[in-house]
Structures are given as C-alpha cells and as structure tokens.
A = this chain, B = another copy of it.
C-alpha cells in the first residue's frame, strides 16, 4: 500500500516519487511506501486552510475544546496500532512510546481546557478620559500554521504534538509536513485527527498532512503568502533555513524554531561532597536515556576541580561506560553523531549497528574556550565535562556559551544564593533554569518555558511547550466603538 498526503479530507493523487522509513533495530527498511506531495497539493492545502480559518477561528471555545479532546480520545483508541508503527520507525521502546503518547494526549486536553478560561484570549477594555469612545481588545487566530514534525518526538512534537495542539487551540488550521523518518506514525496520527474533524463537522482544511523526504514542499509551505506562522523542532541548520526563507517573503511571518542546545550544568562543591552518587546516577540517566536524543539532554557539565568534583566525574564516567549501548532513531542521525564525535574524540565501536555507547569526555578549559566545536550540541548519549578552579573560571566558561533551552545549577541553597552572577548569566542565556534537577523531561504546565535565546530557539519571547505556547499563534485586534 502506498500512503498518500491528505489535502483536507481528500487524499492527494498518487505519485511515483516515493520514500520509506527505516527500522534501525532490525537494520532494514520498513515496508510502507509514502508518495511525495506535489507543490500543487501544498497550494491546495493552504487554500483550504485559508477558507477554514474564517469559521474555525470563530467557533465557540467549547467546540474547539471538544475537537481537541476527541482527538486525544481517538489517539488513545488507536494506541496499539500507533505504538507498533512508532517503535518500528523510531527504534524507541514500547515504554517510551506509551509515555510519549500519554503526554501527547494530556497536551491536547490541557490546551483544550485552557481556552475554556474566560480570559484566555486576554481581553482588555479601556475607556480613556476625554474621548467619546471605548476600546475592547482581544486576541484572534493569526491564520494557517505550518508544523514540521520533529525527528525525536514522533508523537509529542509532531503531527498531533505541541505545535499542532496549540495552533488548533488558538483557532488556527494546521498543515503538517510529516517528518520523513516516521512518516507512517505521522500518517496514522493524521488519520485520527481527520476522522475526528469530519465527525465533528470541522471546516475542511482545518488539517492537512503532506509527505516529502526533501525540501521542496517545506519551502513552498513557508514561502506561500497564505501561511501565517511556522512551528519547527529540529536542528539549527534546518531551523535557520526556515527562518531565512520566511524573512524573504513579501510579508515575513513568525517562525518558531526550537533548535539545538547544549544545556549546560554547573555543579557546586558542597552538594557534590554530600550527594555525589545520587547526582551521578541521575545524570547518567539524563545523558543516556533514549540515546541522548533529547533537545534538553545535558551536554556540558562544569565540575569543581576538587576531590569531590573529580570523584563525581569518575563515578559518572564509570556509570555511563557500564550503560548499555543505545540505538539511534535513524541511520542518518547515527552517522551525523558518529562523524561529529569522531572530529574531537575517539569513537567507541559497539557490536550493534546504529548503536552508540553512552559516555562523558573530559575537555580542558583552554581547549573548551578555543575550540567552538566543543560548545555544539551532540545529538546522542554523550556529554562533555570541564573542570573549573574558581568562580572566575566558571564565569569565563559560561561566557563562551550561546543561547540555551535550559541551564542547570546543582548546589546547596547557600551555594546557589551566593552565586548571583552565575544565576544572572543563566537567565541571560536560557529559557528555563533548573535548580537541583536534571534538564530532561519537559513537563507540560502553564509555567513551562521551553524556548530560549538563539540558537536554542528563534524567538526568546515564546515557549513551545505549555499553555503559553498558544500565544504564539494569536494577535490582538482592538475594536474602538463610539458612544
């Protein structure tokens, strides 16, 4: 069977330009065939979305809440089928698949519930003095949104993931460009969304789903003047390319890219003296789980150059060495990781294809400062450790870092309280500061900020996770009425 793109409620015509996904654990391609969409398919999906936004954005919030909730129900109903496809396309475990699907379902319900609040669209009324009018302002849907599925979260940051859920909650139709590494999972999820949309009588074009394993469709979607915003989770190179495209449009649009981050972690001495083993164990998991393929994986650890620090490093290193080699999502991501690691370190061979050995590498301060390569994200189960001798050292090391999604500080309360300059540097660089925890695990809640300073994200003023992510896709309109 060949899987076809969905333009609203219709399937696109079959084309001879096809691709398939790959099972790294079995080291073989999956059997499903996906037909690449045409530019005309993309144009048609956008035209439908432009029509759909007029009614979809004006629906009572209760209707959009029902829609999101029913998508969540349908995903849950299709759990077994979804998870089978997810696992063979991502080589991630069934347990991870279930956790991620639960999160996706929660996210849809959570964003749906949020718009039931009276003030979700930020109404403001003003009755200025000395004038004979009043002004009432509220937020309106920005228009059709394009969502690019991410490689590492086939459920939670892809087809029915955070970008889609927040855009639909805001009243914006969504066009998904399926990630080619998990096109089958994306297709099954899109079927759930479209089934519910049709049953609930949503306007055609509220959701479309396009396949392409190259860049042509993505380029059309970002450049087409009918599209009003873009959500993307992936590499800096990919995200920046979309930002640059959007900036060249006749009317530029916001592009929310959530990209690379090395998620620095600062360890303080006293805390390591007391709880070294515990932190070594927690950071072993945080670095190595699911082959470290998380945007919030801790990538750089700043450790005091003391007995406690050295001991912590040795325990962590030993833990990681004893951790089983991990399978990557896709041969291309594995090759990228291997090639990046090999530029600076010895590559540790494993006996399974596409697997890599969790590890942490020690880098000297001066090397870290002079070689920018060490400050880049490694999208796999590896971290870098740098020892520091003084707070001045530490500040110099941190000052090398670009924008981050997260910045973690591990220390006694007194150590944190007496490090205001470090805290200030963290705030200047990241969207989320973690005190005494690991950065992996981005909880969906109102206060979450999953975003940060470029190149971690395109726009530090918005989050990609949590109910505030809805505000990416809304714009205020004031109505001034005379009396």
Q: A residues touching B (Cβ–Cβ < 8 Å)?
A: 54, 58, 124-126, 128, 131, 133, 135-137, 140, 142-143, 243-244, 247, 251-252, 254, 402-403, 424, 427-428, 430-437, 441, 443-449, 451, 453-455, 458-461, 463, 466, 468, 471, 474-482
Say yes or no: A478 contacts B449, CB within 8 Å. Answer: yes
Q: Which residues of B contact A254 (CB under 8 A)?
A: 459, 461
Q: Which residues of B contact A128 (CB under 8 A)?
A: 443-445
Say yes or no: B437 contacts A482, CB within 8 Å. Answer: yes
A421 to chain B, nearest CB (A): 9
Q: How many Å lie between the Cα of A58 and that of B459 in the bound state?
A: 22
Say yes or no: B447 contacts A136, CB within 8 Å. Answer: yes
Say yes or no: B445 contacts A135, CB within 8 Å. Answer: yes
Known: A461-B254, A480-B435. A126 touches B448 (CB 8 A): yes
Q: Which residues of B contact A479 (CB under 8 A)?
A: 432-433, 435
Q: Which residues of B contact A137 (CB under 8 A)?
A: 447-449
Instruction: State which of B428, B468, B474 has its C-beta within 8 Å of the C-beta of A476.
Output: B468
A112 to chain B, nearest CB (A): 18
* 4 nearest CB pairs, A to B: A247-B247, A126-B447, A126-B445, A449-B478
11 further A-B contacts with Cβ under 8 Å, apart from A128-B443, A433-B479, are A124-B468, A131-B443, A143-B428, A251-B453, A252-B458, A431-B475, A433-B478, A435-B482, A437-B480, A448-B478, A461-B471
Q: Which residues of B contact A124 (CB under 8 A)?
A: 446-447, 468
Say yes or no: A448 contacts B247, CB within 8 Å. Answer: no
Say yes or no: B481 contacts A435, CB within 8 Å. Answer: yes
Say yes or no: B447 contacts A478, CB within 8 Å. Answer: yes
Say yes or no: A476 contacts B461, CB within 8 Å. Answer: yes
Known: A126-B446, A437-B482, A453-B251. A460 touches B142 (CB 8 A): yes
Say yes or no: B461 contacts A431, CB within 8 Å. Answer: no
Say yes or no: A461 contacts B474, CB within 8 Å. Answer: yes
Q: Which residue of chain B lies nearest to A435 when distances are taken between CB atoms in the complex?
A: B481
A281 to chain B, nearest CB (A): 15
Known: A433-B477, A445-B126, A478-B433. A454 touches B251 (CB 8 A): yes
Q: Which residues of B contact A54 (CB under 8 A)?
A: 424
Q: Which residue of chain B lies nearest to A138 when distances are taken between CB atoms in the complex?
A: B447
Known: A403-B251, A459-B254. A477 touches B432 (CB 8 A): yes
Say yes or no: A140 contacts B481, CB within 8 Å. Answer: no
Known: A436-B481, A447-B135, A460-B142. A431 touches B247 (CB 8 A): no
Q: Which residues of B contact A471 (CB under 8 A)?
A: 461
Q: Which residues of B contact A243 (CB under 8 A)?
A: 247, 252
Q: How many Å lie between the Cα of A58 and that of B424 in the bound state?
A: 10
Q: How many Å lie between the Cα of A140 and that of B128 in the bound state?
A: 29
Say yes or no: A480 contacts B126, CB within 8 Å. Answer: no
A283 to chain B, nearest CB (A): 14
Q: Which residues of B contact A454 (CB under 8 A)?
A: 251-252
